[in-house]
Amino acid sequence: MITGRITRVAGPVVQAEGLGGAGLYDVVEVGDMRLVGEIIRMDDKTATIQVYEENTGMKPGEPAVSLGRPLSVTLGPGLLGKIYDGMQRPLDMLKKASGSFIRAGDKGKSLDHAQKWPTKLTVKVGDDIKPGSLIATIQETQLTEHRVIMPPGLKPGKVTKVLPDGDYDLDTPIVFTDSGLALKLMQYWPVRLPRPTNKRLPPTEPLMTGLRVIDMLFPISKGGTSAVPGAFGTGKTMTQHAIAKYCDADIIVYVGCGERGNEMTEVLSEFPHLVDPRTGRSIMERTILIANTSNMPVAAREVSIYTGITLAEYYRDMGYDVAVMADSTSRWAEALRELSGRLEEMPAEEGFPAYLPTRLAEFYERGGRVETQSGKPGSVSIIGAVSPPGGDFSEPVTQHTKRFIRCFWGLDKDLAYARHYPAISWIDSYSEYVDDLREWWEKMDPTWSDTRAKTMEILKKEQRLEQIVRLIGPDALPDDQRLILVVADLIKNGFLQQNSFDDVDKYCTPQKQMLLLAAILEFHKKAEAAVKSGTPLAMITALPIRERLSRLKSEIPNERLDDIRAATREIAVQFDELQRRKAGEATR
């Protein structure tokens, strides 16, 4: 340890002398209360430290002690189901110690070092092991097997001693090597350093979210990166909640970065009671929550997303597909701006630091589908909410984020105010994963590409026609163009709109999604032919099946797909009846 003293305090930014032997990004315990901080700038005499805790009352002359190591997280069994703050302090433990508000200087161990885990060793004496080698397995929850691997960066060696299968705590060495290593169930990793992998793999499998507008129109792959920008009240947090609840990732890491306390309260109170639709088990058995609300120190907000992505990489290295929800990266960028201002750095656009694009790139580049050091595939998908002031997508955080992602789900305030949720704009949004995922979708249904393309064509035609309707009214349009408006309305209300509070509609399987959309397009095909044959549009819109198509999503559960197929066949029956009725009227 190296001890210095504080010479200057400017909010969460502190300067200290006497830390010349410390390194950049080393952890420092600052002040009489030994608050946790991190060295972010060094010169020959002075270390600049950002403090991650409330430091009101701190004054020059108090000690600053460098611990000689970078800011790291504790990794091991027991992470799942836990709720941490941005520095991986366990909030449940801190609440017992200090009540509803964390006292400055309070600490707690991230994992329970006294708990013993039933461990099955997977190596034997004489085995050669290297970083990424599996040395033991633990059933962490009923949903997740915790795979203890040799940490990256260690020297390969030959196993000289292995403890027998049994119950062990985190601090007991279980495997010994001839290179002098004593491997435990627990390891540490610096949060700002990406964990190494063998190579990147192409994104070929979608991350199924259960939200139809995403899965069908703007899909994201496992290992993909996406942004959810939108004005206040458009549903960014609710969209991420829905994805976190029902997506088919093996592990969820939800980072509440600078969000309002009531939104995090909803997550913390709701998630423990939710049931995973795939397994019937509690969602918390595969979830880690990081709560760093807006009233917590600004520097901790800056580090919280690094904590979250490091936890995600740890489970990715076991061969799991992990999804990270970062809500919101705008609050994180605002923390960078505030700290940059206190450091008296030259501001760039809108006061953000000039290195904002670099930091965003470093974060999103830690996502991806990879071959881990163990040789298994694993992935980290990143879905970051962006909160542009006034919904202005031209502001710096949104614009720079678009450079480093491949999926953009822009939220529309007009849709949100019309109570259309998810309020994802089909005009502003895009996904660059469509071509990568085409093969996967077409194995399930060969018509996927044509169905998606036809749907997007109808929605874009409807947008152009809406501009004409505002000028001259819908009655001035011919029937074939008015039919586009009718079908687009069916797509919006019967497919894109989804009710998170409806037990049937809150989650939709890909098979049901395809059948629902195919039914609406079948109606369009039959209606288009009927209009060309001279059938008045009013007779078509009066058909009972039109109204029923908008209700199929909430009437028919995921497992009753034959009922949707029956409704699709009913379309042909009703149009045939319409033609017979029309022919009968013509003969009279």
| Strand, coil or helix: 212 | helix
Cα–Cα distance, 554 to 548 (Å, whole number): 10
Q: Print the SS3 string covering 353-369.
A: ECCHHHHHHHHHCCCEE
Cα–Cα distance, 255 to 301 (Å, whole number): 10
Cα–Cα distance, 309 to 362 (Å, whole number): 11
DSSP annotation string for 267-295: HHHHGGG-B-TTTSSBGGGGEEEEEE-TT
pLDDT at 277 over 80: no
pLDDT tens-digit profile of 545-572? 999 999 999 999 999 999 999 999 999 9
pLDDT at 105 over 80: no
Quick check: 160 and 176 in contact, CB under 8 A?
A: yes
Cα–Cα distance, 112 to 245 (Å, whole number): 26
Tokens 């029902």 locate to 246
pLDDT tens-digit profile of 461-512? 999 998 888 888 888 889 999 999 999 999 999 999 999 889 899 999 999 9
Least confident piece of the model among 17-26, 92-101, 176-185: 92-101
Output the pLDDT for position 398.
95
Quick check: 73 and 188 in contact, CB under 8 A?
A: yes
Output the pLDDT for position 467.
85
Q: Which domains does the chain have, with CATH numbers?
A: 2-70 (2.40.30.20), 114-185 (2.40.50.100), 199-433 (3.40.50.300), 448-587 (1.10.1140.10)
Quick check: 14 and 83 in contact, CB under 8 A?
A: no
pLDDT tens-digit profile of 224-240? 999 999 998 898 888 98
DSSP annotation string for 86-111: TT--BHHHHHHHHTTSPPTT----SS
pLDDT at 586 over 70: no
Output the pLDDT for position 543.
94
Task: Give percent above pLDDT 70 in the chain.
Answer: 99
Name which residue leads in pLDDT, 496 or 107. 496
Helix then strand then coil, in percent of the chain rounded to 5, is 40, 25, 40
Output the pLDDT for position 587.
61
CA distance to 169, 254, 294, 426, per residue, from 259 (Å): 35, 12, 5, 26
Average pLDDT of the chain is: 92
pLDDT at 588 over 60: no
Res. 275 pLDDT band, cuts 50 70 90: confident
pTM summary value: 0.93
Output the pLDDT for position 153.
92
Res. 295 pLDDT band, cuts 50 70 90: confident
pLDDT tens-digit profile of 401-423? 999 999 999 999 999 999 999 99
pLDDT at 36 over 70: yes
Output the pLDDT for position 308.
95
